[in-house]
Amino acid sequence: MLGIMASAISGNLGIPLSVDYLVVAGGGGGGNFGGGGGGAGGLRCTITATGGGGTLETALSLKTSINYTVTVGAGGAGTSTGSTNDCTSGSNSVFSTITSTGGGYAASIGRVAATGGSGGGGNGNGYAKGSGTANQGYAGGNEYSGNPYVGGGGGGAGAVGTNATSANNGVAGGAGVATSITGSSVTYAGGGGSGIGNSSTALGGAGGSGGGGAGGNNTPSLTNGTAGTANTGGGGGGAGSTNSSASAATGAAGGSGVVILRYPDTRTITIGAGLTGTTSGASGGYKRTTLTAGTGNVSWA
């Protein structure tokens, strides 16, 4: 009788399983006139490498028949015009007890960059970079505050955003981090490239590897920053600007985050209402579920 009762209790508590994860938050938005690149979303991972140069994280010990919360963070908004400072940070991504912090928005005229999973880059008019979060990402790059007012690159999960110099061109966002959780190596969470201020001949900085958006150009024509790539957590690119048309270009939005789960192929996942996701077939003893939007629960049987 005691054996039957113990079996029933064990069944109610669920069967243990180990789940590896990649949790990437949304990237931060790019800044304006001489604006920095947006910081990449924070990255936490148990496979290959994790963000901020931290020690590789440990798989979660979970149980079947229990709901676990997942949120996929949205990317932050870029500046709406070159004369505003309304860019925003990315949103956090969550899996169970694991939270990755949204990327910090870039500095713009009148506002310093935000701290985030990775920090936003500084603004060429003297507004400072933001810091990263330990074990998730790095700081943004320093601005160059003299003519031509170059912003700093947004921080990436794998490297600090590039510091601006007196050169006319914008600078690159920090590199992201590569992980093989899907079965092949993919890079996530690159910082946004910076925009350029008072120069009619300059080019924006490149986005960091892993989905960072490029900074806007001033030649052959004035262009907006490029958005971070969806489901990478890449930071948005800063705006290209000139003194005579400082309101003509906009910083770009950060890329949305992603949550990827790897678990034994003997288990079947249920993706709850509110989440968008897909599950791969069994390979190498695992299944992998990629969640690309929303908030809801997952469970295993």
pLDDT at position 21 over 50:
yes
More confident residue, 27 or 170: 27
pLDDT score recorded for residue 12: 52
Mean pLDDT of 207-230: 92
Question: What is the rounded end-to-end Cα distance, in angstroms, of the chain?
Answer: 26
Whether the Cβ atoms of residue 288 and residue 181 lie closer than 8 Å to each other: yes
pTM listed for this prediction? 0.94
Distance CA 244, CA 226 (A): 22
pLDDT score recorded for residue 126: 86
Smallest CA-to-CA distance from 54 within 62, 63, 44 is with 44
pLDDT score recorded for residue 3: 37
Q: Identify residue 75 by its one-letter amino acid code.
A: G
Taking only the tens place, the pLDDT of each residue in 52-99 is: 999 999 999 999 999 999 999 999 999 987 777 899 999 999 999 999
Q: Where are the beta strands (DSSP E) in the chain?
A: 16-24, 43-45, 60-63, 68-72, 93-95, 98-100, 177-179, 186-188, 258-264, 269-271, 275-279, 286-300
Tokens of 279: 């599950």
Mean pLDDT of 259-282: 97
Distance CA 103, CA 116 (A): 5
pLDDT at position 245 over 80:
no
Smallest CA-to-CA distance from 216 within 237, 234, 233 is with 237
Distance CA 111, CA 79 (A): 12
Taking only the tens place, the pLDDT of each residue in 219-243 is: 777 889 999 999 999 999 998 876 5
Question: What percent of the chain stands above pLDDT 70?
Answer: 92
Buried b / exposed e across 201-216, counting CB within 10 Å, b at 16+? ebbbbbbbbbbbbbbb
More confident residue, 69 or 5: 69
